[in-house]
Amino acid sequence: MNCSEDRICRVVAETLGVPIERVNEDSGVSTIENWDSLAHLNMIMAIEKEFEISLTPEEAMQILSVRLIRLTLEEHGVISSK
């Protein structure tokens, strides 16, 4: 997957203040230093705004990687699986 054209990767990169080239499906809390608890909350809000959804607190706590964000958005039906 080319993350540079992907909305999820764009939101993650912009929210965390990292180049989009550093963001891929495997990016997450353990691979992006800027991904701390405050950045995570900001990213959750950005994802909810971008995709016009509301995540449950449980979902918000569990999406700790780009892959998990994608799976959660697929479950909400706002993106299709690739």
Secondary structure (3-state) at 11: helix
Answer whether residue 65 is part of any domain: yes
* Domain count along the chain: 1
Answer whether residue 80 is part of any domain: no
pLDDT averaged over the chain?
A: 92
Q: Are 73 and 79 in contact (CB under 8 A)?
A: yes
Question: Which pLDDT band, with edges at 50, 70 and 90, does 2 fall under?
Answer: low
CATH number at residue 44: 1.10.1200.10
Answer whether residue 63 is part of any domain: yes
Secondary structure (3-state) at 29: coil
Domain holding 12, by residue range, is 3-75
**Residues 30-61 pLDDT 10s:** 999 999 999 999 999 999 999 999 999 999 99
**Dist CA 31 CA 81 (whole Å):** 24
Percent of the chain with pLDDT over 70: 93
Distance of CA 62 to the CA centre of its chain: 11
- Can you give the length of the chain in residues? 82
Average pLDDT over residues 59-82: 92
Token pair of 25 as six digits: 């499906």
